[in-house]
Chains A and B, each alone.
Chain A
Amino acid sequence: TQLLEQSPQFLSIQEGENLTVYCNSSSVFSSLQWYRQEPGEGPVLLVTVVTGGEVKKLKRLTFQFGDARKDSSLHITAAQPGDTGLYLCAGADVTSGSRLTFGEGTQLTVNP
Chain B
Amino acid sequence: ETGVTQTPRHLVMGMTNKKSLKCEQHLGHNAMYWYKQSAKKPLELMFVYSLEERVENNSVPSRFSPECPNSSHLFLHLHTLQPEDSALYLCASSQEGTGNTIYFGEGSWLTVV
Contacts and interface: CB of A to CB of B under 8 A. Distances in A.
Interface of A: 4, 30-31, 33, 35, 40-45, 48, 50, 88, 90, 92, 97-100, 102-105
Given A31-B100, A40-B107, A45-B101, A99 B45 contact: yes
Contact of A99 (B48, B105, B106): B48
B69 interface: no
B90 A48 contact: no
Contact of A100 (B88, B100, B107): B100
Interface string B2-40: 101010000000000000000000000001000000001
B2 A44 contact: yes
A97 to B, nearest CB: 6
Contacts of B2: 42, 44
A55 to B, nearest CB: 18
Interface of B: 2, 4, 6, 31, 40-43, 45, 48, 56, 88, 90, 92, 94, 96-97, 99-107, 109
B100 A30 contact: yes
Contact of A31 (B42, B97, B99, B109): B99
Contacts of A100: 45, 100, 102
Residue with the greatest number of chain A CB neighbours at <10 A, chosen from B42, B100, B104, B109 = B100
Given A42-B2, A43-B90, A103-B42, A98 B100 contact: yes
A35 B92 CA distance: 13
Nearest to B96: A98
B100 A48 contact: yes
A41 B106 contact: yes
A50 B20 CA distance: 36
A33 B107 contact: no
6 contacts: A42-B105, A42-B106, A43-B104, A98-B96, A100-B102, A103-B42
B104 A44 contact: yes
